[in-house]
Amino acid sequence: IFLFLFLFTGTRTNGRVLIMFRVGPFAPGVPVKPVCLKYPYKHLDVGNAGFLRLVRSMFEFANYLEVTSLPVYHPSEQEIVDPTLFASGVRAKIADVLNAPVTQHTYEDLFLVSSAHKAKISQDFEMSKISEIFQLSLHDVKALILKFRKIDKSKDGMLTIQDFSEAFGYGSNPPQHIERIFDILDHLQTGK
């Protein structure tokens, strides 16, 4: 019996790096057949297409796709019991073929970066670390970012002491303990 299962597990997102693969397809520990997709372009990169970019690509004279089929990847004994290691091994093979570096970022990190960018928040953290430390899901973090956007009156990605105080329900005259917390968080001493 021949079983064929087609799973998209990786993406190059911006066309320059290969992010971590989801480990689900690697959990069974069976050999996989990696396939690389590359979208060479001159004017419009359709490789990381959102809906509008997809529509715009329909008006291009030609869109090209290069498909490279790699040899079947047989997992080692360690990879059979560790799907993350297995996924990393396959990703390394694909990265070699695409001549692309790899990053430890996940697909969830990309959503987080996008949401933080829209809120003008400096984003120097990874979703996996936030989830591990605070037990927050991507949905929870997105909700917090939306709340931050409402609090950030200047829309510059920074909170003043008054914004911070109002977020805690104290109005524009913060009590001393709120001022102390703000001073701790304002490690650059910018007042924001």
Among residues 44, 45, 57, the alpha carbon closest in space to that of 12 is found at 45
Alpha-carbon dihedral angle through residues 38, 9, 109, 37, given to the nearest 10 degrees: 0
84 CB contacts (<8 Å, ≥6 apart)? 23, 26
Q: How many CA atoms lie less than 13 Å away from 49 in the CB half-sphere?
A: 16
State the DSSP H helix or E strand holding residue 35, giving kind and residue range, or none if neither: strand 35-38
User: What pLDDT digit, counting tens, does each position of 49-107 carry?
Assistant: 567 777 777 777 777 888 889 999 999 999 999 999 999 999 999 889 888 888 777 77
Report residue 13's pLDDT band, with 50, 70 and 90 as the boundaries: low
pLDDT value at residue 1: 46
**Predicted local distance difference test score (pLDDT) of residue 181:** 79
Cα 149 from Cα 151, distance rounded (Å): 6
Q: In 46-160, at which residue ranges do the beta strands (DSSP E only) sit?
A: 66-69
pLDDT higher than 50, residue 149:
yes
pLDDT score at 124: 61
Q: Which residue has the higher pLDDT, 75 or 184?
A: 75
Q: What is the pLDDT of residue 36?
A: 84
